[in-house]
Amino acid sequence: MKPISDMQLAMWTYPWDIQDIGIETVEREIKERAALNMVSLAISYHAGRFLQPRSPRRKAYFPEDGTIYFQPTPSRWEGLAIQPKLARVIAEGGDVLRDLVRRRDSGGLGVSCWTVCLHNTRLGMLHPEIVTRNAFGDPNYYNLCPSHPDARAYVRALVGDISHTYKPDRIELESPCFMGFAHEYHHEKDGVCLQPEDDFLLSLCFCPACLERAAQAGIDGEAARRLVRGWIVEACERTTPEPRFPDFPARGIATFAPWPDLHAYVAWRFEPVTSLIAELREAANPDTDVVVIDLKEGWLGGTDLASIGKICDGAILCAYDMDAEAVEALAAFGRGALGPDKFLAIGYRLFFPEMMSAKTLVAKVAPALRAPVDGLNFYNYGLVPAGRLDWVGQALAG
């Protein structure tokens, strides 16, 4: 168990929250009310609609899709097929990340850059040739494919630019992987009631870049694609939903062991994700830590925590919708996979009714404070009432 004074204790937040509420207020509340020592700022993000309970200016905000929240260095993007777009909120309201780094250098909060990597519908629509595609060839515009060279080059430039230009304490990589089929776009319609394995099968990418990369590894992606196509057709033709694998996803990739071509393809998916993360660690400033935001069942997106522990600085595992016992198991799993020397943090969401009260949060944070973890992250400063910052302070004091 690490002393709490030695832990990285961060609050996820958005640049527009800091602009609306004021950087001095944000830093003071994160430090004094929540008892945290780091701000984790979104610097590359996707679209959404956010209720803004804290903002004195507005109560709803629609961020620009797929934009960046820092001033890019033109030379780092020269010649790349995919170019970043600076969000208007930064162009018009000022460089929040630079302000945070300057205040850090004067004794303020630590700075982490929360970086959405391949979840980018704006870029997917502009460059449909680089997105993931299901077994029928349908594009997932929200997910740039980790196998595609141009998508990889974009994320390398993103991480390199942030870390060398601003020198944050760490970069948190969100979605450097394959994404699921459900809950990644807006106004989704599913009248079939897809089962968990159906969602996974529809998320498997068989784009040309993946098929070529898999073939270079000796994997028959076309055989896997034919099987997956057939299963998806069967799922869509059922009058009522019926699970093919009732224990999915608990068994992991072993679920597909009876079908060797598919099993090999699912296992191969770790390669483009792992190698991309390794490239991002190499592209980053050596003085900036690079960690991955993930879930316990990250294999669904092609992330392997044990491999991540060998190629970057660690991970933040989200304990969303978990009870205290599950948090304890998550921390043990993370430490066992990463090894003893890598950074491990647990992420919590401050949403109601998941967190019913300060007592609920105290109970769920306590197992992490007893475990061999190096940090905690809390989501999200501007999305919750101010009083829940006090809950965080109570949880850490408890």
Backbone angles phi, psi at 292, to 5 degrees: -110, 135
Of the given ranges (9-13, 146-150, 185-189), which has the lowest mean pLDDT?
185-189
Answer yes or no: is pLDDT of 178 > 90: yes
**Interval 343-367 mean pLDDT:** 98
pLDDT band at 184 (very low <50, low <70, confident <90, very high): low
Please compute the mean of the pLDDT values over residues 105-131 and round it to a whole number: 98
Q: What is the mean pLDDT of the chain?
A: 97
Q: Does the pLDDT of residue 398 top 80, yes or no? A: no
Helix pair 260-268, 270-283: axis angle to 10 deg: 10
Q: Identify the sign of the CA torsion 222, 223, 226, 229.
A: negative
Residue 356 is predicted with a pLDDT of 97
Return d(Cα 35, Cα 393) in angstroms, integer: 5
> What pTM, to 2 d.p., does this model score?
0.97
pLDDT digits over 33-77, tens only?
999 999 999 999 999 999 999 999 999 999 999 999 999 999 999
State how far the Cα of 93 lies from the Cα of 63, in Å rounded to an integer.
Answer: 14
The CATH fold assigned to 4-178+269-397 is TIM Barrel (3.20.20)
Tens of pLDDT, residues 211-228: 999 999 999 999 999 999
Q: Stretch 321-343: mean pLDDT, rounded?
A: 97
- The domain segmentation of the chain, as residue ranges, is 4-178+269-397, 185-268
Q: What is the mean pLDDT of residues 154-172?
A: 98
Q: Which region among 1-10, 99-108, 255-264 has the lowest average model confidence (pLDDT)?
A: 1-10
Phi-psi region of 63 (alpha: psi -120 to 50; beta: other; left: phi over 0): beta
Nearest to 381 by CA among 112, 108, 16, 100: 16
Measured CA to CA, the distance from residue 220 to residue 41 in angstroms comes to: 41
Q: Which of 114, 95, 100, 92 is nearest to 158 (CA)?
A: 114
